[in-house]
Structure 1
Amino acid sequence: MSEPLDDGEREGTTQRLPVLDKGGGPEPSAAVPDHDPPSAPPDGGAGRPGRPGRFWSARRVPAAIVALLLLGAAGVFLYDIASVRAGRPGMQWRRTLADQLAQRPLDDSRVLLGAGVTAALGLWLIALAATPGLRDVLPMRRTHPDVRAGLHRGAAALVLRDRAMEVAGVQSVRVRMRRTRCDVQVTSHFRDLDDVRADLDLVLTEAVGGLGLGRSPRLSVRVRRPGRKG
């Protein structure tokens, strides 16, 4: 039965302890490699965590709607095929639709409209399947490969607003948090605007770094006087 790893091995570092002989003097270890093995990353030794990715939305409502529509269409066509195989005439709407499609030219307005709607629906379904969604959740840095965390954009904006309000001379703050950019609009009722902006840049840069996001957004700070735009 193997012994549990100590703290040094758990953190990915290798400790070589000398072996004491009977005389009490240190004796080198028997099997020592010529080169030191590469040290593991300080995340538990499980490998590099990698770049944090966005969270994928389940999209249960669109999937349920598409499934119900496909199920209903398949059921109708299956019933019509079974009716024709049983010697009964097909549904009137299907025969009318087949005749209209056979007689109408391809440049007809109704045919183009139906093709456009179908193509738009197909592109929408492809976009839903290929994009992650959950744009309001910002992925955070992964310190362990088995743990993922996200921060809501509203919560991140609230933290930055509270930090900006601590700067002297700030009257009101408006923060707009995006995935790659953070826009901060500040109203200052006293102190020089350049001094307020310099303090805000320092405080907000530290606050953005403290959020622990996997990709730090670009910070844009605007300071103005009350009653003025821009």
Structure 2
Amino acid sequence: MTAPAPGQAPPRQAAPARVRRFWSARRIPSALTALAVLAAAGLFLYDLAAVRAGRPAMQWRGELADQLERHTPADPWVIVGAAVLAVAGAVLLLLALTPGLRGILPMRTPDPDGGVRAGLGRKAAALVLRDRAMEVSGVRSARVAVRRSRVAVRAQSHFRELEDVRADLEEVLAVGIGELGLAHAPKPRVRVTRAPVGKR
């Protein structure tokens, strides 16, 4: 890398490309919703076509029309039905607007817009970091949970000062997290306790 000429502004570094999270296809909810809508639309279309052809309307549609004439929106069963439909709609909107696949962490890629994306499972990342934690002197056991924004580590030490073990763990985990190549590196949160006497 050459130094800028005198009086010339240093070149700007390119901003890191934004890596998007993985989205779940959610084929089962989509298929069930599409089938329900298709069945309801097909049933109404068949009934309307039958009425146009001179046949009587289906009994259920006549009863439904009578029920709608007799009941008002203040009736309890109308309110309960509306609440159920509102909850179902909210769930469908939540599924449509959230990425899902929380178990996969996006990784850095040279060209995220080029169609090549990489991801790492949280359990696999936790196993790698746990192995790194067990290499620290004084650590007898370690439990690692990888989340989107942080890595929770609970370790037990049977010798050495707890603060020294914690400092070494934080250093080792920082290196290990960097080697995972995640797009958004989580921050380690380390907790070290003394192992019970006599436990093996």
With the shorter chain as reference, the TM-score category is 0.7 to 0.9
Q: What is the aligned-residue identity percentage? A: 58
SS of alignment partner, residue 47 of structure 2: helix
Question: Displacement, 1:49?
Answer: 6.1
2:164 to 195, 198, 211: 195
- For 2:137, the equivalent position in structure 1 comes to 168
- For 1:23, the equivalent position in structure 2 comes to none
Confirm whether residue 223 of structure 1 aligns to residue 192 of structure 2: yes
- For 1:138, the equivalent position in structure 2 comes to 105
- For 1:212, the equivalent position in structure 2 comes to 181
> What runs of 5+ residues in structure 2 fail to find an aligned partner?
2-7
CA distance in 2, matches of 1:197, 1:40: 35
**Contact 1:49–1:143, Cα closer than 8 Å, also in 2:** no
> What runs of 5+ residues in structure 1 fail to find an aligned partner?
1-12, 14-34, 42-47
**Contact 1:161–1:173, Cα closer than 8 Å, also in 2:** yes
Confirm whether residue 73 of structure 1 aligns to residue 29 of structure 2: no
Q: TM-score, with normalisation over the residues of structure 1?
A: 0.76
RMSD of aligned C-alpha atoms? Answer: 2.2
2:119 to 141, 150, 174: 150
CA distance in 1, matches of 2:110, 2:119: 13
- For 2:50, the equivalent position in structure 1 comes to 83
CA distance in 2, matches of 1:174, 1:109: 51
**Contact 1:186–1:222, Cα closer than 8 Å, also in 2:** yes
Alignment of 1:170-189 (within 5 A): 170-189=139-158
Q: TM-score, with normalisation over the residues of structure 2?
A: 0.87
CA distance in 1, matches of 2:97, 2:12: 38
Alignment of 1:58-137 (within 5 A): 58-137=25-104
Greater gyration radius: 1
Question: Displacement, 1:72?
Answer: 1.0
SS of alignment partner, residue 185 of structure 1: strand
CA distance in 2, matches of 1:227, 1:75: 68
Structure ranking higher in helix proportion? 2
Aligned pair count? 189
Instruction: Find runs of 4+ consecutive structure 1 residues off by over 2 angstroms.
Output: 38-41
